[in-house]
Amino acid sequence: MPHEAINFAKITAEAAARHAENGWPKQRDEAWRFTDLNAIREMTLAPAEVPSVTTESAPPQDAKDLIQFINGIPQGIDKVALKGVEIAPLSTDSARSSALAEAVPSGHSVADFALAHAKDGVVIAVADVGADAVAPPLTLRFDYRGDGISSHAVIVVDVAAGANLTILEEHKGDGVGLSAPLMLLRLGAGAELHHARRLIEGDSRHHLGLNLVQLDTGALYHGDMVLAGGDIARSETQIAMTAPDAKAYLNAVYLGRDGQMRDITSRIDHDAPDGQSFQRVHGILDGRAKAVFQGKVKVARYAQKTDGNQMSRTLLLSREAEANTKPELEIYADDVACSHGATIGEIDADQLFYLKSRGISTEDARQFLIEAFLVDVVDALDEPARGWLLEAIAAWLERG
Amino acid sequence: MPLLEIKNLHASVGDKPILQGINLTIKAGEIHAIMGPNGSGKSTLAYVLAGREGYEVTEGDICLDGESVLEMEADARARAGLFLAFQYPVELPGVGGMSFLRAAVNAKRLAQGADEVDHIAFVKIVREAAARLGIKDDMLKRAVNVGFSGGEKKRYEILQMALLEPSMAILDETDSGLDVDALRIVSEGVNALKNDAMGVLVITHYQRLLDYIIPDHVHILADGRVVKSGDKALALEVEKTGYGGFTDAA
Ligand SMILES: Nc1ncnc2c1ncn2[C@@H]1O[C@H](COP(=O)(O)OP(=O)(O)OP(=O)(O)O)[C@@H](O)[C@H]1O
Ligand SMILES: [Mg+2]
């Protein structure tokens, strides 16, 4: 039975009602055990309003490969001109609105909050334009401004069968506020999405992002992220492999200092045979920073020949920093290769001494060892976006 | 002025006193050898000289070129000309060999007011020095000491020494783990570097190394003290009679 098309306003109103009833997640919710949202709960937030178009808020005229979001609200989406890429408001697309409403996990308060105050969403639809016409990356630039504002960007990315897209997504800006972007990423058979993200918001902002990924037969999702900004910053990714042969990479580097909180949460549902998922998460924590990586991999009974790997490593630069890892493997198929590993450590004193004994200063020696710690995840980053992501890591390290 | 002067050196690791009053003077151009039973404090002495954290000098002094180095951290001592070839070289996964070697050489050059070494010229210098020590090109491309055999690690230590041209080199059991040919190659490497301005302190268990690197003085270390000093004949005596007589005397 085809689903009845529902309108966007109804979806947001229902989400608002759910959020009003349920409030923010509490630490007794298993998925939020390590992440204390009190600071957010106590904030007085007003949803972002459509900014008056000033020269400051207007994206560059010639940017044909850029969507700028001011406090989550897209600007000048009609200017984008990438071959095979169509951008449209979500509110006029009832089929995709319904798809989004269906995809949102029930009882997910953050998703409800994101939807609750979204003025509209954006649809990014990508058609297959043939192998030799690979489009340049589409940049999604999220700019946050002002104090006491919550930002609610809602985006549906639809990559058609056989199509290919690279997204460079950046979140930055200052002030006191909360960003809650919600993305549904749907990949058709054989489609590819290369999704690189730099989360580099200011120290007084909070970020709670949710990405929902749906993979059809043979589709490939490559998600690379540097989470280096914000006070409380959580990035959650849920991947549903409902058709055979899908493949997902999730690479993340998280960096925290002072009293910051970093939360990388993922859930991968292998619901069809021959799926592959590779997760690599490396974090560096200084000061009193805290982090959690919770990765759930669920392999259904009929998802035979699944290959699921998860590796997390944390480097603590201070004795007061704290890292938690919570791998969860739920495997109901018998012919699978799933593995996970986690390490948490400090700068190795023997290695530091070895470098120093060669005349290398403490600072340079630490730098060597920090970069060495990141080598494996940096190698795993998608080639075209690697340099762009490394800039964010370098900027964080330089702040020392 | 002596190059290295160790005066009544007492040192502890944690709360455990290990060095119990060592006196040793090395002049420029001299080679000294230290022998001694396992656990007698040889590596501890090497680490204390190099400035390893956690090795606390409780009494006495160490002077390099007449200046106390006790307040200097390991990196400053290295830039001042001290070099330690480790008994157990440390693996540095993810740290590329070439960038490591270049950083070490540049740190020293900058301290001396020289310019950083030219990239391309440096690669050539390293390749040539490596070839003389029988180090394969492929090893230079790998992460520092990762996947090196025991003998390869020791050669790599001497390569670093060759590039850093220290004024005072301490070789902690560089001979252990080396096959006969490697022992000769490494010894020749050390001898080639040796000059009248340089001092060498060789820590070894075997008199065999001293056939190649011929010491001016040999010291026996037992229980954290120098219990006997002599010339090369002392090494031969140890080889024949063991340490029994010396430790009893201590
Ligand atoms: N970190 C440490 N904590 C406690 N004791 C230590 C530590 N390092 C060394 N020691 C002790 O100090 C003593 C001297 O050790 P050292 O390594 O200097 O001996 P060595 O003469 O080099 O021996 P070898 O011939 O086996 O290399 C030993 O008894 C050793 O157990
Ligand atoms: Mg030793």
Higher pLDDT, A50 or A148: A148
Query: Which amino acid, residue A280?
Result: R
User: What's the whole-number average pLDDT of chain A?
Assistant: 93
- Smallest CA–CA distance, residue A250 to chain B, in Å, is 21
Instruction: Determine contact, residues A293/A283, Cβ cutoff 8 Å.
Output: yes
Q: Whose CA is nearest to atom 19 of ligand 1?
A: B39
- Chain B residue with the nearest C-alpha to that of A374: B94
CA distances from A323 to A49, A278, A284, A302, A381 (A): 37, 21, 9, 35, 23
Instruction: Determine contact, residues B168/B80, Cβ cutoff 8 Å.
Output: no
Query: CA-to-CA distance for B52 and B184, rounded, in angstroms?
Result: 30
Q: Is the pLDDT of residue A56 over 80?
A: no
Instruction: Determine contact, residues A389/A381, Cβ cutoff 8 Å.
Output: yes
Index of the ligand 1 atom closest to the CA of residue B36: 21
CA distances from B47 to A101, A219, A236, B19, B154 (A): 65, 56, 47, 11, 17
Q: Torsion angle, CA of B105/B111/B112/B118, rounded to 10 degrees?
A: 40
> What residues in chain A have their Cβ under 8 A from chain B's Cβ atoms?
349-351, 353-362, 364-365, 368-369, 371-376
Residue of B75, B126, B158, B172 best to disrupt the A interface, most CBs of A under 10 A:
B75
**Can you tell me the ipTM of this complex?**
0.97
- Smallest CA–CA distance, residue A351 to chain B, in Å, is 6
Most ligand 1 atoms within 8 A of CB, residue of B15, B20, B35, B38 to mutate: B38
Percent of the residues in chain A that have a pLDDT greater than 90, as a whole number:
87
Instruction: Match 């259904």 to its residue by tokens.
Output: A300
Q: Is the pLDDT of residue A2 over 50?
A: no
What integer is the mean pLDDT of A186-207? Answer: 97
Residue-wise pLDDT tens digits, A265-314: 999 999 999 999 999 999 999 999 999 999 999 999 999 999 999 999 99
Task: Tell me whether residues B53 and A353 touch, CB distance under 8 A.
Answer: yes
pTM above 0.90, yes or no: yes
What integer is the mean pLDDT of A93-101? Answer: 94
Query: CA-to-CA distance for A169 and A201, rounded, in angstroms?
Result: 12
Output the six-digit token pair for A265: 């949460």
Query: CA-to-CA distance for B20 and B184, rounded, in angstroms?
Result: 34
**Rounded to the nearest whole angstrom, what is the distance from the C-alpha of residue B43 to the centroid of ligand 2?**
4
Residue-wise pLDDT tens digits, B89-146: 999 999 999 999 999 999 999 999 999 999 999 999 999 999 999 999 999 999 999 9
What CATH architecture applies to the domain B4-249? 3-Layer(aba) Sandwich (3.40)
Q: Is the pLDDT of residue B69 over 90?
A: yes
- Ligand 1: lining residues by beta carbon, under 6 Å: B 13-14, 16, 18, 36, 38-44, 87
